[in-house]
Structure 1
Amino acid sequence: MKVIIWGATGMVGQGVLRECLRAEDVTSVIAVGRKAPTVQHFKLQTVIQEDMLHYGAITSTLTGLDACFFCLGVSSVGKSEQEYTRITHDMTLAAATALAAQNPLMTFVYLSGSGADSSGKSRTMWARVRGGTENALRTLAFKSVYILRPGIILPRHGAVSKTPFYRFFYSFLGPLLSLIRPLWPGAILTTEVMGLAMLNLARRGFPETLLNSRQINDLAREKLPLS
């Protein structure tokens, strides 16, 4: 498979990138973002993209791809609805629209969040914006679009959050959550689980297009042959 990742320098994106580089059936990984990942690998190609709303200049790079793992996202804390919408909705749709035009057989996997509201009725701003983004992605001409709505995600294998609050959260509660995770593996996920689940979606799909934490965990645990 040839895959492309948005947000490979974020906490979840780092985990997804790691699993893609480790997978024998992934032959090429493109990471698109404003900064390059710290990891180097013979499979990895980095595309520095300052303008996250227009992709005409790199159209040739966005062709011949089998899957996109879209992990780009920010916290809504301290942001207006207009600013959060520009980052969460507009940037996502700009990238997805560019990909759909070149890759109609692509599997597009979008990292959303538990609590996202696709009905548009939520009083919570971020939930409405996330849900609206999910709805817009479903209208694009991909082979398949999967929406992941995880809850708690623990960093693994050196993955680090860019958000100071989350780094603080993980430094204090991470060890406790790691201890209790075996009791609730379907509620507390890891960056490794997220990467494995996304790869399995690209490999074989899933009966449902909207996946919660338990489904994500179950999907990651499937032992699939690599071809």
Structure 2
Amino acid sequence: MKLIIAGASGLVATEIIRQSLRSRDITTVLALARKPVAAPEGTTAADATKLKSVIIDDYETYPDHVKREFSGADACIWTVAITPTKSKTYAFEDVKRICQTSTLAGFRAMADAGPARPFRFLYMSGSAAERDQTKRPIVLAEYLLMRGETENQVLEFAASQQPPGSVQASVAKPGLITGHETVFRSVWGTALRYIGVIPHVSIEELVAAMLHQVKNGFEKDALYGGDLQRIGVQALRETAKES
């Protein structure tokens, strides 16, 4: 399997690379980013050979040499975005360009590059992104509606491709993502999961679930925290049995 990871220098993307390089099913990992990406610490020399860093100056524009790298790809996990908190420090036009325009430009470039069929595109969004454009979220309304509109556009583009089913899409919508590298966040996230305040999924579970879905097919077009946690736990168990 040839997997594209877009936004490959981020925290979640680094864990995607880590698990992908260890996966027997994945033979090539294209790390798409605006700067060189190396294999995560602890990766074996043999696994590191599966990684290829592809530098892109602008996620809205895809030169021919980048499109050639996309040829034959089986799937993409798209993580490029500006988070809700950071969105307040940018002009909304820039936030929309990065979160929406770039996503659709990248998806189109991959679909046009001669990928494998089916080609699976998993867009990483957030649990509060609102697809129903008639609703008005209480906070960050403009941002959450834009992210929901992007989800709609991703799904609509996939559905428009011929023949039907040749390009498939889904959206990962985690809530709070925790990791062992941040003790406070992990403990706080576990407490929130226990009392049911905010959906919680560990970064390991999230990534294992996303990789399972691009390998085996999407359960549905919106994978929320509970879905991702359930799929991820099972996928990690299966991986542990194989090792």
Counterpart of 1:27 in structure 2 is 27
Deviations 1:40-90 (A, max 9, x none): 611100011112111132221111011101011112121222111000001
Cα 1:18–1:33 shift into 2, 3 Å: same
Between the aligned partners of 1:11 and 1:77, the Cα distance in structure 2 is: 20
Counterpart of 2:56 in structure 1 is 49
Letter in 2 for 1:187: P
Q: Where does the alignment leave 5 or more consecutive residues of structure 2 unmatched?
A: 41-47
Q: Where does the alignment leave 5 or more consecutive residues of structure 1 unmatched?
A: 159-169
Between the aligned partners of 2:151 and 2:39, the Cα distance in structure 1 is: 30
Counterpart of 1:174 in structure 2 is 185
Q: Secondary structure at the match of 1:222?
A: helix
Counterpart of 2:131 in structure 1 is 118
Cα 1:175–1:138 shift into 2, 3 Å: closer
Between the aligned partners of 1:61 and 1:148, the Cα distance in structure 2 is: 25
The answer to which of 72-81 and 26-35 deviates more is: 72-81
Between the aligned partners of 1:175 and 1:197, the Cα distance in structure 2 is: 19
Counterpart of 1:36 in structure 2 is 36
* RMSD (Å), alpha carbons: 2.3
Letter in 2 for 1:145: A
Superposition TM-score, scaled by structure 2 size: 0.79
Between the aligned partners of 1:154 and 1:36, the Cα distance in structure 2 is: 26
Q: Secondary structure at the match of 2:105?
A: helix
Counterpart of 1:135 in structure 2 is 152
Letter in 2 for 1:62: F
Instruction: Please say if 1:217 is aligned against 2:224.
Output: no
For 1:11-90, what aligned pairs fall within 5 Å after superposition?
11-39=11-39, 41-57=48-64, 58-75=66-83, 76-90=87-101
Deviations 1:149-205 (A, max 9, x none): 10100134x6xxxxxxxxxxx57x325226537747993212211211111101222
Letter in 2 for 1:6: A
Q: Which has the larger radius of gyration?
A: 2
Equivalenced residues, count: 213
Between the aligned partners of 2:20 and 2:233, the Cα distance in structure 1 is: 16
Between the aligned partners of 2:179 and 2:9, the Cα distance in structure 1 is: 13
Note the C-alpha offset of 1:35.
Answer: 1.4
Cα 1:181–1:203 shift into 2, 3 Å: farther
Cα 1:28–1:13 shift into 2, 3 Å: same
Cα 1:127–1:42 shift into 2, 3 Å: same
Between the aligned partners of 1:48 and 1:147, the Cα distance in structure 2 is: 25
Deviations 1:121-152 (A, max 9, x none): 33511111111111111122353101011010
Superposition TM-score, scaled by structure 1 size: 0.85
Counterpart of 2:45 in structure 1 is none
Between the aligned partners of 2:111 and 2:35, the Cα distance in structure 1 is: 24
Cα 1:150–1:182 shift into 2, 3 Å: closer
Cα 1:112–1:182 shift into 2, 3 Å: closer
Counterpart of 1:96 in structure 2 is 107
Letter in 1 for 2:118: L
Counterpart of 1:188 in structure 2 is 200
Q: Give yes or no for contact 2:177–2:201 (8 Å, CA) kept in 1.
A: yes
The answer to which of 137-146 and 188-197 deviates more is: 137-146
Q: Give yes or no for contact 1:153–1:189 (8 Å, CA) kept in 2.
A: yes
